[in-house]
């Protein structure tokens, strides 16, 4: 089963099992909630990364990311045509202020947009699962292999459990997407199912420490 974030990308959904070293994964959280539970502005930061709401000016970088066949290999399988990417981007902007939405991911050393990461609702038929979210990350190729997805994932897992009090975070990785699977493993995610089809997917979960046996 595929989860789709606000920008229409395939994502990972997880139920989190232990928080262990997740502790100081993010450095600050100056986000404020409005009465409708959306954020007045989302900002989360790690040592090397800044996560913020999408802005109109991210369009070209987003389209470039979506046009890269290697980036899209395990998320959709083909480059996303510009007109489709533009539509997804504009639709995503409408949901940018939601509490659960993928965030523009900025490499602090050069201030560049390098992709997206974050938590989005764990969608099910009939609505999203309360107390749960799905984790996803997607970075431009030149930033792969530096531990950045792990750094981003760790921050959002901590934020999800500690700030949002989530009970479970889920994730999906296509069979063969070794880097994504490895990142999820490093974050403590556990594979709970395999979904076989024309494209096959592993389903992962991480359960929050606050979730007791009665939850």
Ligand X SMILES: CC(C)(COP(=O)(O)OP(=O)(O)OC[C@H]1O[C@@H](n2cnc3c(N)ncnc32)[C@H](O)[C@@H]1OP(=O)(O)O)[C@@H](O)C(=O)NCCC(=O)NCCS
Judged on CB neighbours under 10 Å (0-12, 13-18, 19+), 206 is buried
Q: For the CB of residue 175, give the shortest distance to ligand X in the complex, in Å.
A: 12
Q: For the CB of residue 52, give the shortest distance to ligand X in the complex, in Å.
A: 18
- For residue 206, give every residue at least 6 positions away whose Cβ sits within 8 Å of its Cβ, in sequence order, or none: 14, 15, 16, 17, 18, 157, 168, 169, 170, 171, 187, 188, 189, 190
Return the residue of 138, 155, 157, 187 that touches ligand X, per CB under 6 A.
138
Residue 147 binds ligand X (CB under 6 A):
yes
Residue 134 phi, psi (nearest 5): -115, 140
Q: For the CB of residue 210, give the shortest distance to ligand X in the complex, in Å.
A: 25
Return the residue of 6, 13, 133, 136 that touches ligand X, per CB under 6 A.
136
Tokens of 43: 């900002």
Residue 4 binds ligand X (CB under 6 A):
no
CB nearer ligand X, residue 44 or residue 139: 139
Place of tokens 């990350």: 137
Query: Where do contacts with ligand X occur on this chain (CB under 6 A)?
Result: 11-12, 71, 74-75, 136-139, 144-150, 173, 177-180, 182-183
């Amino acid at each position: 089963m595929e989860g789709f974030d606000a920008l229409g990308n395939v994502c990972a959904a997880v139920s989190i099992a232990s928080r262990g070293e997740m502790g100081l994964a993010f450095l600050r959280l100056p986000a404020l909630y409005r009465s409708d539970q959306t954020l007045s502005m989302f900002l989360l930061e790690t040592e090397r990364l800044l996560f913020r709401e999408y802005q109109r000016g991210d369009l070209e970088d987003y389209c470039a990311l979506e046009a890269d066949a290697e980036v899209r290999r395990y998320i959709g399988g083909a480059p996303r045509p510009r007109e489709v990417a533009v539509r997804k981007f504009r639709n995503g902007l409408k949901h940018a202020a939601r509490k659960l939405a993928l965030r523009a991911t900025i490499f602090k050393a050069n201030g560049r947009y390098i992709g997206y990461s974050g938590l989005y609702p764990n969608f099910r038929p009939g609505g999203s699962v309360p107390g749960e979210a799905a984790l996803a990350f997607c970075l431009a190729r030149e930033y792969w292999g530096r531990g950045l997805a792990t750094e981003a994932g760790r921050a959002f897992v901590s934020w999800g459990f500690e700030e949002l009090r989530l009970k479970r975070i889920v994730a999906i990785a296509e069979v063969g997407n070794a880097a994504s699977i490895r990142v999820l493993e490093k974050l403590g995610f556990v594979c709970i199912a395999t979904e076989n089809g024309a494209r096959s997917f592993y389903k992962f979960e991480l359960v929050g420490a606050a979730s007791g046996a009665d939850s």
